[in-house]
């Protein structure tokens, strides 16, 4: 497909600006270091170009999108409509508080709702993503130890099943990462944890249900071991879709967590944002929170700044419109609806897991939460069919592949998260497609190895794309 710079004709433009009615003044020196290249296209060319591009992408409105760990669920349109209200889109973040009372009410209500869902005492809405929230939470943990003059606590314990952002955030926050192994169910190995904690433990970062979709039955013991060693417990809330309304990280013994509004709470995930990764914490960490939190004083809302703040994590209060969507979602579902959503997410995942286990090997043959992991290790050894081949073959059926090669502890992993918003018919369709692909992989492995056959591009060099990306157009 041609780029926008390759269509149109020099001098062609959209006439959207009125003629200049003041004298033109030439700049003395051109501040630009190089020529400004703008596309020269008509409005219709522009419109067709972007429509063509849009048709080439696959979104949750096109079909099944089972990316495990990402919660790619359908987001009700009403959430978008609320976020598009002019009263919300037109506000300026520096507007005086008297003029943005409604917006502060949105923030205050969302802070309270998220705190209630997570079992925490305070919430900051400032972080812009999950990883940003992790970094924030780790700085809170650091500030806590420093405030007690407990300077030797410089290690963060992270299980080997963790999302890559966990160790990365810990390193960025200035900690050393201690990796601990998982047991044969993908859960934390208690002996490994006991051996890892000590006087230098700043904290533990944990995802529960973990990245293989299993709820760690030792969760209370885990947080106890860390607390007894003097460390704090960080909960990676990316998988909250499995447990919201059922149980609360705060009650499991966690001191601080992040929530991905762009996974669990109605902002479409992917496509580069904007996202939002609010951080919740227990009372004793509240004084370190960044930015401002919205508070209600009498009948009015105000901004409140923490006394011993870790400082701003970004400008202003965070990605506000994402908050509006989350609040709309939470409010329309209500307490019972949220619980029903997580129940159905777990039910759907188990339905697919059981049906697919007749054809595929499950990495952990136990009841799962909202997602499950299949392993193609056997197929890879015996018929040289990799997880990547199965994923690519799905594209020919118009189905987005699941998460591949994650978590790293499972070889040839395909991680499926159907979410609560898929129907039984759709899941049955995907199950039958996956069976068909498996049959074909056995009878005609070359066909599957060369999939996809119907897409515009078949198999791009993904390593090259990641290592040497070309993101600027050469004029
Ligand atoms: C998505 C995810 C993250 C990071 O969240 P971002 O919003 O993508 O930065 C962290 N942990 C887990 C388990 C995740 O799935």
Ligand 1 site-directed mutation target among 127, 130, 136, 209, most atoms within 8 Å of CB? 130
CATH number at residue 211: 3.40.640.10
| Domain identity same for 205 and 171 | yes
Q: Is the pLDDT of residue 224 over 90?
A: yes
Question: What residue's CA is closest to ligand 1, atom 15?
Answer: 69
Give exposure, 128-149, as e/b (b: 16+ Cβ within 10 Å): bbbbbbbbbbbbbbbbbbeeee
Does residue 114 sit in the same domain as residue 30? no
The answer to whether residue 15 scores a pLDDT higher than 80 is no
What is the model's pTM?
0.92
**Which numbered atom of ligand 1 lies nearest the CA of 129?**
7
With b for 16 or more beta-carbon neighbours within 10 A and e for fewer, the 200-223 pattern comes to ebbbbbbbbbbbbbbbbeebeebb
CA of 131 to the centre of ligand 1 (A): 6
In a domain, 388, yes or no: yes
Q: What integer pLDDT is reported at residue 58 of this predicted model?
A: 86
User: Does the pLDDT of residue 450 top 80, yes or no?
Assistant: yes
Among the three residues 304, 333, 362, which one is the final residue of a domain in this structure? 333
What is the reported pLDDT for 184? 87
CATH number at residue 412: 3.90.1150.10
What is the tens place of the pLDDT at every residue in 315-358? 999 999 999 999 999 999 999 999 999 999 999 999 999 999 99
In the predicted structure, residue 56 carries a pLDDT above the cut 90 = no
pLDDT for res 456 = 86
98, part of any domain: yes
- At 272, the pLDDT band (50, 70, 90 cuts) reads low
> What's the whole-number mean pLDDT along residues 6-17?
84
Q: Do 326 and 418 have their domain in common?
A: no
> What average pLDDT does this structure show over 189-217?
96
How far, in Å, CA of 119 to CA of 107, rounded?
18
- Same-domain status, 1 and 129: no
Q: DSSP of 14-49, one letter per residue?
A: ---SPPP-S-----SS---SS--------HHHHHHH
pLDDT for 181 equals 92
Question: Are residues 366 and 422 located together in one domain of the fold?
Answer: yes
Question: So what's the pLDDT on residue 74?
Answer: 92
Q: Is residue 70 part of a domain?
A: no
Rounded mean pLDDT, 97-119 = 98
Q: Which of 15-29, 208-222, 268-282 has the highest mean pLDDT?
A: 208-222
Question: Quick one: tokens of 186?
Answer: 């993908």
Within a domain: residue 154?
Answer: yes
Please state the rounded mean pLDDT for residues 34-53: 91
Residue with the smallest CA separation from ligand 1 atom 4 is 130
Atom 5, ligand 1: residue with shortest CA distance? 130
Does ligand 1 have an atom closer than 6 angstroms to the CB of 259? no
Decide if 62 is inside a domain: no
**258 touches ligand 1 (CB under 6 Å):** no
Give the structural domain span for 345.
341-464
Q: How confident is the model at residue 271, as a pLDDT?
A: 64
Q: Is the CB of 277 under 6 A from ligand 1?
A: yes
Average pLDDT of the residues in 395-417: 95
Per-residue pLDDT of 357-392, as tens digits, reads: 999 999 998 999 999 999 999 999 999 999 999 999
Overall number of domains in the chain: 3
Both 128 and 265 in one domain: the answer is yes
Ligand 1, atom 3: nearest CA belongs to which residue?
130
Residue nearest to atom 8 of ligand 1 (CA): 130
Report yes or no: 266 and 114 within 8 Å, Cβ to Cβ.
no
72 within domain boundaries: no
Residues 219 and 315 in one domain: yes
């Amino acid at each position: 497909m041609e780029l926008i710079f390759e269509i149109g004709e020099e001098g062609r433009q959209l006439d959207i600006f009125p003629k200049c009615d003041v004298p033109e003044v030439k700049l003395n020196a051109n501040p630009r270091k190089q020529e400004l290249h703008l596309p020269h296209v008509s409005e219709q060319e522009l419109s067709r170009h972007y429509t063509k591009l849009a048709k080439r992408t696959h979104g949750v409105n096109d079909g099944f999108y089972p990316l495990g760990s990402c919660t790619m669920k359908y987001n009700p349109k009403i959430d978008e409509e609320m976020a598009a209200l002019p009263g919300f889109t037109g506000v300026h973040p520096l507007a005086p508080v008297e003029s943005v009372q409604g917006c502060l009410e949105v923030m205050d209500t969302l802070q309270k709702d998220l705190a209630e869902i997570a079992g925490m005492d305070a919430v900051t809405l400032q972080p812009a993503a999950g990883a940003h929230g992790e970094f924030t939470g780790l700085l809170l943990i650091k500030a806590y130890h420093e405030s007690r003059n407990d300077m030797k606590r410089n290690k963060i314990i992270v299980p080997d099943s963790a999302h890559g952002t966990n160790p990365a955030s810990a390193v960025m926050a200035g900690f050393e990462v201690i990796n601990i192994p998982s047991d044969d169910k993908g859960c934390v190995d208690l002996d490994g944890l006991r051996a890892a904690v000590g006087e230098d433990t700043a904290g533990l970062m944990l995802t529960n249900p973990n990245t293989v979709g299993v709820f760690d039955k030792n969760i209370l013991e885990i947080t106890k071991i860390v607390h007894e060693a003097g460390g704090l417990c960080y909960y990676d809330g990316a998988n909250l879709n499995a447990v919201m309304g059922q149980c609360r990280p705060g009650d499991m013994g966690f001191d601080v967590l992040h929530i991905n509004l762009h996974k669990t709470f109605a902002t479409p995930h992917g496509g580069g944002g904007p996202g939002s990764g609010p951080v919740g914490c227990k009372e004793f960490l509240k004084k370190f929170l960044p930015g401002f939190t919205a508070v209600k004083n009498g009948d009015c809302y105000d901004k409140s700044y923490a006394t011993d703040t870790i400082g701003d994590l970004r400008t202003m209060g965070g990605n506000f419109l994402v908050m509006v969507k989350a609040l709309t979602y939470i409010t329309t579902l209500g307490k019972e609806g949220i619980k029903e959503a997580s129940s159905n997410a777990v039910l759907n995942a188990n339905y697919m897991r059981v049906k697919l286990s007749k054809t595929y090997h499950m990495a952990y043959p136990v009841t799962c939460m909202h997602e499950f992991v299949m392993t193609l290790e056997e197929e890879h050894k015996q018929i040289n069919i990799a997880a990547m081949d199965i994923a690519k073959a799905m594209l020919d059926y118009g189905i987005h592949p699941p998460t591949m090669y994650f978590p790293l502890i499972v070889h040839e992993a395909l991680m499926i998260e159907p979410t609560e918003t898929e129907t039984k018919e759709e899941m049955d369709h995907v199950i039958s497609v996956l069976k068909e692909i498996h049959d074909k992989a056995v009878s005609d492995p070359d066909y599957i190895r060369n999939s996809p056959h119907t897409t515009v591009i078949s198999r791009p060099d993904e390593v090259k794309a990641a290592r040497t990306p070309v993101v600027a157009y050469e004029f």
